[in-house]
Amino acid sequence: MPTNLYEITLPSKVKIREFEKFMLEEVFPAVGRGPTRVGSVKELRLLKDIKVARKYFWTIEWDGLRLFEGFVEAPFEKLKAYGANVELLGTL
């Protein structure tokens, strides 16, 4: 299944454990799952970069034609409000 890979960089003021809790309790539940005519979200993962303390990778696995933008608008807004920088690295 296709997977979108995002890089999340945190500002220095953010506490790591609080961010991880925020992702699990607020961001992940805000992701739309579907199904829609173009597909659905199957799995979410948060991976921590062990070499860079304030960097994470977020994967969104989906099936169908493409990842529906409406599924991720609210979570991205939450991350932006939190002060995190999110960048799409590509689709695997």
Whole-structure pTM value: 0.91
User: What fold characterizes domain 3-91?
Assistant: Alpha-Beta Plaits (3.30.70)
pLDDT surpasses 90 at 11: yes
Closest CA to 76 of 17, 4, 3: 4
pLDDT surpasses 90 at 46: yes
Report d(CA 23, CA 46) in Å as an integer. 8
Which residue would you say has higher pLDDT here, 81 or 35? 81
Q: What is the pLDDT of residue 76?
A: 96
Q: What is the pLDDT of residue 10?
A: 96
* Domain spans, the chain: 3-91
pLDDT surpasses 90 at 69: no
Q: What is the pLDDT of residue 37?
A: 86
